[in-house]
Amino acid sequence: IMVLPRDGLKDATGKPLHYDKVFYVGESDLYIPRDEKGAYKTYDSLGEAYADTVQVMRGLIPTHVVFGGKVGALTGDNAMTAKVGETVLVVHSQANRDTRPHLIGGHGDYVWQFGKFNNPPLRDLETWFIPGGSAGAALYAFRQPGIYAYVNHNLIE
């Protein structure tokens, strides 16, 4: 949960910041056991899956990293949309792993990397850092039409 300030967001000088809409992006890492042939295993209950799942998690390499809980949750008909001239606040959380949100085609006009709205926001970041178990927020005003991809810039994964 991220609670926005009662008196609204402010820049470093205390000037109020406006946004037209808010998007929440929950980033999840999933650890799904595989059988000896590499196929994902299925189980009749969570309890039955526990030992195998813990073993995969201890390897610290997720089988999937997704936004919104599943593949495609924020694409197609579910895509986050904005019009030219709109300002959007994106709140991003990640429960376990560090993440590096990046808006391809845009940037964070104002960024609260650690979700501390009492701190002055950072300005004009291409990529920002959110530690695992934390959340952050970025404000962006869309200036041009187009498709903007919102990604975790840890592209090596």
Q: What is the pLDDT of residues 56-111, one digit of tens each?
A: 999 999 999 999 988 899 999 999 999 999 999 999 999 899 999 999 999 999 99
pLDDT tier for residue 3 given thresholds of 50, 70 and 90: confident
pLDDT in tens, 129-150: 999 999 999 999 999 999 999 9
pLDDT band at 157 (very low <50, low <70, confident <90, very high): low
Question: Measuring CA to CA, how many Å separate 59 from each of 36, 55, 94, 115?
Answer: 16, 7, 18, 29
The whole-model pTM stands at 0.87
Mean pLDDT of 111-133: 93
The predicted-structure confidence for 9-20, as pLDDT tens digits, reads as follows 999 999 999 999
Contact criterion met (CB below 8 Å) for 66 and 27: yes
Taking domain 21-29+66-152, whether its CATH number is 2.60.40.420 is answered by yes
149-157 mean pLDDT? 84
- C-alpha pair distances (Å), 47 with each of 28, 54, 59, 146: 21, 11, 20, 46
**Sign of the CA dihedral 65, 71, 73, 79?**
positive
The runs of H, that is alpha helices, within 17-142 are: 46-58
Q: In what order do the strands lie in the sheet with 122-125?
A: 64-67, 21-30, 87-94, 134-141, 108-112, 122-125
pLDDT at 5 over 70: yes
- Domain map of the chain by residue range? 21-29+66-152, 31-63
